[in-house]
Each structure stands twice: as C-alpha cells, then as structure tokens.
Structure 1
C-alpha cells in the first residue's frame, strides 16, 4: 500500500494545516479524496472519526492506522445514509437565528 501512503504524504504536504484538518472534521473528505484515487476505498466510522479501508489496510490523514477507536467504539462500515451529514462535519454550526446570507 505504498501508493496510498505516498498519496497521503503528498496530501499532508499541500498545506501545513492539512493533518490537523484531516483529524478534526475533515476525515470524511479525506476518504472522498482517497476514493477518487483508489476506487475500492470504503469509509469506516466509529461515531467520531472516519478511516478508509483499502484492501486489507486502514488509513486516515496520518497514513496507515489500526482500526482501534480512540473513543472506545467499534469501527463499522459507514452507512451511505450518513454521508450527507458527514459533508458538513468540518463546517461551523450556525448560531440560532443567524442568517446564512440568503435573500430576504
């Protein structure tokens, strides 16, 4: 899986904050990028973080990882029904009553 680790190393080099972003809300988007480069990629989720399974190995922005949850949950294949919510994990929540900039 050296192609995957090389891809992730190049991704981390894109911007100094990329590794932090990939661990703080951007993990699903890291999966989406990996899916473009490695079509057999699958998202696995533990209620806190998405890792990507390619072949028999798991990856996140750091490179190859073990599928051991830091929050004590079990990683499961991510249900596509949660994909829509996952797109916004890296976006700040709007405060109640805050306009999103739409017209009145």
Structure 2
C-alpha cells in the first residue's frame, strides 16, 4: 500500500496554492483524490471542512490530523447522497439518480 504521508506531501508540492486550496474549498476534492489511491477512505464533515478517515486515522491536505473541528462541532461521516457535486458551486445540482451513478464511480 502507498505511504499516505508521502502521497499527501507530493500532492502539496504540485502547486504552491494547493495547501491553501485543500483547506479552503478543495477539502472534498482532496478526499476524492485520496479515495482513488486508498479505496477504504471515508469522508467526514463538520459543517465546514471535510477530512478523510483511512484505516482509523484522520487526514486532510496537511497530512495526519486530529479530528477536532475548528468550528466546535462534531465530524460525522458523509452520506454519499450529500456529495451531489459538493463544492462544485458552478455546476447545477444533480438528480438523486444521477448522484448515485456518480457515487458508484467514487
């Protein structure tokens, strides 16, 4: 299995804005990238930020983190129907059927 720390480090090095983007608007997309490499990855959300749980450990673009919300709420596991193009504000929302088709590819 790939080293998740090395993977996230390489991801941050792709572009100087990636660490900021991964915490401000791109956190769900960071989960999607991690899901491609680590199929067991799960998205968790506190109402403001998505973090990724992999094998009982928590990650975001910064690397391994503690699941402590910066807004004081609890992280909960995201339901796939909540994805519905999460954070793709420029895209129209999908129907539930289309969202389920997209989720089956994640």
TM-score band by shorter chain is 0.7 to 0.9
Shift in alpha-carbon separation, 1:67–1:52, aligned structure 2, 3 A: same
Aligned to 1:37: 37
Structure 1 residues 78 and 90: CA distance shift in structure 2, 3 A: farther
Q: Give the corresponding residue for 1:20.
A: 20
Aligned length: 91
Distance 1:16 1:66, change over 3 A: same
Task: Give the Å deviation of 1:87.
Answer: 4.0
User: Would you say the 8 A contact 2:8–2:62 is kept in 1?
Assistant: yes
RMSD, aligned CA: 2.0
Distance in 2 of aligned mates of 1:90 and 1:71 = 25
Change in 2 beyond 3 A, CA 1:51/1:10:
same
Q: Which runs of 5+ in 1 are unaligned?
A: 92-104
Question: Does residue 67 in structure 1 map to residue 72 in structure 2?
Answer: no
Q: TM-score of the superposition, structure 2-length normalised?
A: 0.80
Which 5+ residue runs of structure 2 have no aligned equivalent? 92-106
- Whether the aligned pair in 2 keeps the contact of 1:30 and 1:61 (CA below 8 Å) is yes
Q: How far does the alpha carbon of each residue in 1:48-75 deviate from its partner, in whole angstroms, 9 at most, with x for none?
A: 0000000010000000000010000100
| Superposition TM-score, scaled by structure 1 size | 0.81
Using the alignment, how far apart are the partners of 1:13 and 1:56 within structure 2? Answer: 25
